[in-house]
Amino acid sequence: MRISKTLLMAVASVALLAIAGPASAGPYYQGKTITLIVPNSPAGMMSRYAHLLAPHIAKKLGAADMRVKNIKGGGGLKGTNVLWASKPDGLTIGFTNVPALIVAQLAESPGVRFDATKLTYLGRAAAEPRVLYTGAKDPIKNAKELEALKRPFKYAAQGTDEDFYSVAVFAKAAGFPITMITGYEGDADSLLAVIKGDADGHLTSLTSARPSFKAGDTRPLVFFTAKRNKDFPDVPTVLELVKDPSKKAPLEAIVSIVAMSRGFFGPANMNAEATKEMRAAIEATLTDPAVLNEAGARHMPIVSWPGAEQQVQVKKIVAASHDLTPILKAALKSIK
């Protein structure tokens, strides 16, 4: 049987596609330009992730471009409000710490113009441990000393984001006084305040905090995780420090929320075809060996989670976390 040259070329093309992996491009995004709103500082880790991933996602979609647009303010609320009001055509999506959106809504923050349960979740890029750190010269040497603190713990806050609320819940559960010092812009500004001694500590991702640990400028105090971190086995988690079950429940809720971490999302009722293609492209990007290698080289770990599963989990978490509302509202009121 004679096989034509055309057929051989077709078979070869299919084989190459199989080796490269399934294509996620579809007709909806072909040749279009997408805006990726990042409601955080242009110099922060969130923006670094966005700029790393955006071109890869655009390529897998067959889109002309995905442009990162920073709209900072209000602990991520300003940019998210803009996203919420945008057309649900899939051409404007967002990327930020999803926990910031959830806790702001639970706190009934006046800056919230969206419903976190109705946003269209498109996939999580990273789930990093959050760590509360202090300055190397700070008098508070370990987490247990918080219980005996004779004065308020001075916390460097970057607006009313998820870190602000997480520390407020921890302080309430552990029973130590705290003063929120607001006005800091981004992790770098907060870090400088802690090193200088203007504040006792700040809560951030381990990736952001690790360089200052290595330099000896700061030290980890406590992790906002369910289990201890293998790289810092002597540093406790917040759940270890609170024994009373009634006080521990809100803390367990906030730890579950912060685990949602960095994710992509669109406005409510986003176009079904666009949602399907975007979720597929994001998942393909976050599991692409070349992307994982590039992220690893930049010390930006990727821990992906499908958007459809994220959608369900957000609704469950919000429904189960209303006991947090009085604590979060009190924290918000304390800085007004």
In terms of Cβ atoms closer than 10 Å to its own Cβ (0-12, 13-18, 19+), residue 316 is exposed
Q: What pLDDT score was predicted for residue 24?
A: 55
Instruction: Give CA–CA dist 316/117, Å, rounded.
Output: 9
Buried b (16+ CB within 10 A) or exposed e, 227-263: eeeeebeebbbbbebbeeeeebebbbbbbbbbbbbbb
pLDDT digits (tens, 9 = 90+) for 113-134: 999 999 999 999 998 899 999 9
Q: Check residue 320 and give its pLDDT.
A: 83
Phi and psi at 204, nearest 5°, equal: -155, -175
- pLDDT (mean) for 309-329: 90
Residue 200 · residue 135 · CB < 8 Å? yes
Encoded tokens for 304: 């992906």
How many C-beta neighbours within 10 Å does residue 268 have?
Answer: 13
Q: Are residues 119 and 318 in contact, defined by beta-carbon separation less than 8 angstroms?
A: no
Which position has the token pair 């010092």? 181
Strand blocks (E) in the chain: 33-38, 65-70, 92-97, 120-126, 130-135, 153-156, 178-181, 201-205, 218-223, 262-266, 305-306
Question: Which structural domains are found in the chain, ordered by start?
Answer: 25-127+261-322 (3.40.190.150), 130-257 (3.40.190.10)
pLDDT at 207 over 50: yes
